[in-house]
């Protein structure tokens, strides 16, 4: 209870109830909205950056400022413990926890320039694992030059990247990823000077660096060269089927032909390419009408809904979510292209989103989800058309679909308008389509951010909650009690050992989770591992 000015001023001093505009403990710091929260550790900040990135910035920080802050965390980590930095990069990258590889590759490039030789050695050793494609290698080459030159150690590491691949895999990389990020394979090979006694490898290197064709070259190279010289859809279709060419190996003219894309689907588009090309496939009428001759909708749907294929292709849930949002809109967010979405494909993308998390074992705990839908959650994340508000709604659906006793609430405007805050129960159930949930949350009126509201609401309404889950940017400010204090009050009043999951949707350095309370956990972004971590934490296993 907040006393009036005419009351005894000593009654305003409390360790149980403090307005969020003031620190509740000496270790709290101000966030960007003027509230007070806890500062996360450098390792937590690093993981947020690696998983979420900084594209688009936040409501309170522009992209450049947020990027500088996070980049400094990486640089400081490389100076203090570069080996640990590489360990975290490997962990995030190999587990497929990040939707975009730019942050992990950037951090590896920083580690490769570390002053400590053991840090550089760890970075060089991790290159073949983290830089899995030619695109990754060329992006690394772009980043690493921002911190160091190409000395002998880095050149040897670059050679090992090429040497680690068998001849078929190497050929595929050289043909598919010819140039990216201002670099080409020719640039890299001329930079690192690979040395080998393998005649076939040498023939490949000469073809890349000197355009020298020979009979020794693998069939894929000859198929690629023939495709560049071809001039008809029939020829490109034949070459696709004869040589297994991917769409990146074809000239631009081929990519406007319906028959070419039919052949690519028939041969088997890689999962990532298939998801990205759904709008084009629809525009060219390769999918969308099962009654049209040559329609491939059934094949595409079968591929999108195959959990094993999704797992093998390391498809990240966030990328499926972006594809679903884009495809359902029927228009390009960065261009003028339009298409009519095919309902079977929308259904398949919906199923693929859930399947991309694997089998989440439910905790069977009473769960209350609070979605921060305030104005600051309206910024886009990870360089996508999705806002933090929309992404948080989608992530909450994993818990809604797995936990049988779950209620979802949104932080909305209170009676005094946007400066006040209220909690509104949302009619979100496990059978609802993702795009409908996202749309409904996007239209909610937003108010002041008070992340203590779920605990306050549960206590006022007599709700029995084992796990509170709040998806937010941690820029809470509007409440008269801090979230961690509200959780403590709920525990005292109900005698329920309730837990609190804070799911951060931006890579700022703040959290409302009290680091001294083992019953609170801080998670980050659209992370493929998060739903199972939530269930394990709710169950008390971690």
Whether residue 234 is predicted with pLDDT greater than 90 in this model: the reply is yes
First to last CA, the chain: 35
Query: Which phi and psi (to 5°) does residue 520 adopt?
Result: -125, 140
Helix axis angle, 185-192 to 134-144, nearest 10°: 60
pLDDT at site 381: 79
Distance (Å) of CA 422 to CA 20, 86, 393, 410, 419: 16, 43, 17, 8, 10
Pick the range with the lowest mean pLDDT from 26-40, 234-248, 297-311, 339-353.
26-40
pLDDT at site 60: 57
Question: Do 529 and 97 form a contact (C-beta atoms < 8 A)?
Answer: yes
Picking from 38, 21, 62, 66, the residue whose alpha carbon sits closest to that of residue 419 is: 21
Whether residue 3 is predicted with pLDDT greater than 50 in this model: the reply is no
Query: Which phi and psi (to 5°) does residue 220 adopt?
Result: -60, -35
pLDDT at site 215: 85
Taking only the tens place, the pLDDT of each residue in 186-210 is 999 999 999 899 999 999 999 999 9
Task: pLDDT band for 428, please (50, 70, 90 cuts).
Answer: confident
Domains annotated for the chain, with CATH where assigned, are: 39-211 (no CATH), 220-355 (no CATH), 367-539 (3.40.50.410)
Mean pLDDT within 500-523: 88
Backbone conformation region of residue 296, classed left if phi is above 0, alpha if psi is from -120 to 50, else beta: alpha
Whether residue 249 is predicted with pLDDT greater than 80 in this model: the reply is yes
Average model confidence (pLDDT) for the chain? 89
Whether residue 415 is predicted with pLDDT greater than 70 in this model: the reply is no
Task: pLDDT band for 225, please (50, 70, 90 cuts).
Answer: very high
pLDDT at site 434: 83
pLDDT at site 417: 56
pLDDT at site 11: 56
**What is the per-residue DSSP string for 364-386?**
---EEEEEE-SGGGGSB-TTSS-
Strand 406-414 and strand 467-472: the pairing is unpaired
Spatial neighbors of 6 by CB under 8 A, at least 6 apart, are none
pLDDT at site 332: 87
Whether residue 5 is predicted with pLDDT greater than 60 in this model: the reply is no
CA distance 170 to 228: 20
pTM: 0.87
Mean pLDDT within 397-425: 80
CA distance 472 to 475: 8
Taking only the tens place, the pLDDT of each residue in 458-478 is 999 999 999 999 998 878 888
Q: HSE of 115 in the Cβ direction (CA atoms, 13 Å)?
A: 6
pLDDT at site 414: 63
Distance (Å) of CA 513 to CA 233, 280, 488: 59, 44, 12
Picking from 384, 412, 404, the residue whose alpha carbon sits closest to that of residue 317 is: 384
Whether residue 105 is predicted with pLDDT greater than 50 in this model: the reply is yes
Taking only the tens place, the pLDDT of each residue in 276-311 is 999 999 999 999 987 788 889 999 999 999 999 998
Strand 36-39 and strand 179-180: the pairing is unpaired
Task: pLDDT band for 57, please (50, 70, 90 cuts).
Answer: low
pLDDT at site 1: 37
């Amino acid at each position: 209870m907040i006393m009036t000015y005419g009351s005894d001023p000593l009654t305003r001093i409390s360790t149980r109830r403090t307005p969020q505009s003031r620190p509740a403990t000496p270790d709290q710091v101000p966030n960007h909205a003027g509230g007070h929260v806890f500062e996360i550790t450098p390792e937590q900040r690093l993981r947020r950056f690696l998983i979420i990135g900084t594209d688009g910035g936040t409501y309170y920080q522009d992209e450049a400022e947020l990027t500088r802050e996070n980049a400094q965390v990486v640089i400081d980590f490389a100076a203090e413990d570069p080996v640990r930095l590489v360990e975290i990069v490997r962990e995030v990258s190999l587990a497929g926890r990040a939707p975009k590889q730019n942050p992990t590759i950037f951090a590896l490039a920083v580690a490769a320039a570390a002053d400590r030789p053991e840090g550089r050695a760890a970075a060089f050793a991790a290159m073949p694992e983290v830089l899995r494609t030619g695109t990754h290698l060329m992006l690394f080459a772009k980043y690493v030059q921002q911190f160091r030159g190409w000395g002998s150690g880095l050149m040897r590491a670059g050679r090992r990247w090429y040497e680690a691949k068998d001849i078929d895999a190497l050929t595929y990389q050289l043909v598919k990823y010819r140039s990216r990020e201002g670099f080409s394979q020719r640039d890299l090979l001329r930079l690192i000077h690979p040395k080998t006694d393998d005649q076939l490898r040498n023939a490949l290197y000469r073809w890349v660096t000197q355009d020298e064709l020979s009979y020794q070259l693998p069939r894929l190279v000859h198929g690629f060269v023939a495709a560049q010289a071809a001039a008809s859809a029939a020829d490109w279709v034949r070459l696709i089927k004869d040589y297994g060419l991917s769409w990146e190996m074809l000239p631009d003219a081929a990519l406007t032909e319906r028959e070419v894309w039919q052949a690519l689907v028939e041969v088997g588009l890689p999962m990532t390419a298939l998801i990205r090309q759904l709008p084009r496939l629809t525009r060219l009428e390769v999918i969308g009408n099962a009654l049209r001759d040559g329609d491939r909708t059934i094949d595409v749907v079968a591929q999108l809904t195959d959990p094993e294929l999704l797992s093998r292709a390391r498809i990240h849930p966030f990328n499926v979510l972006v594809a679903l949002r884009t495809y359902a809109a029927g228009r390009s967010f960065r261009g003028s292209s339009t298409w009519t979405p095919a309902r079977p494909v929308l259904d398949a993308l919906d199923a693929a989103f859930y399947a991309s998390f694997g089998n989440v074992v439910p905790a069977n705990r009473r769960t209350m989800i609070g979605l921060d839908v305030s104005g600051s959650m309206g910024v886009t994340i990870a360089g996508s058309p999705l806002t933090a508000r929309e992404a948080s709604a989608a992530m909450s659906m994993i818990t809604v679909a797995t936990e049988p006793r779950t209620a979802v609430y949104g932080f909305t405007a209170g009676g005094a308008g946007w400066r006040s805050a209220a909690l509104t129960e949302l009619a979100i159930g496990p059978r609802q389509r993702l795009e409908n949930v996202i749309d409904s949350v996007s239209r909610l009126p937003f108010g002041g951010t008070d992340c203590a509201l779920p605990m306050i609401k549960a206590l006022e309404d007599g709700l029995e909650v084992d796990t509170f889950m709040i998806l937010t940017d941690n820029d809470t400010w509007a409440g008269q009690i801090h979230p961690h204090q509200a959780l403590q009050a709920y525990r005292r009043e109900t005698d329920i050992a309730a837990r609190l999951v804070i799911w951060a949707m931006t890579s700022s350095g703040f959290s409302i989770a009290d680091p001294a309370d083992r019953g609170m956990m801080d998670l980050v972004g659209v992370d493929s591992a998060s739903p199972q971590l939530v269930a394990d934490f709710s169950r008390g296993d971690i």
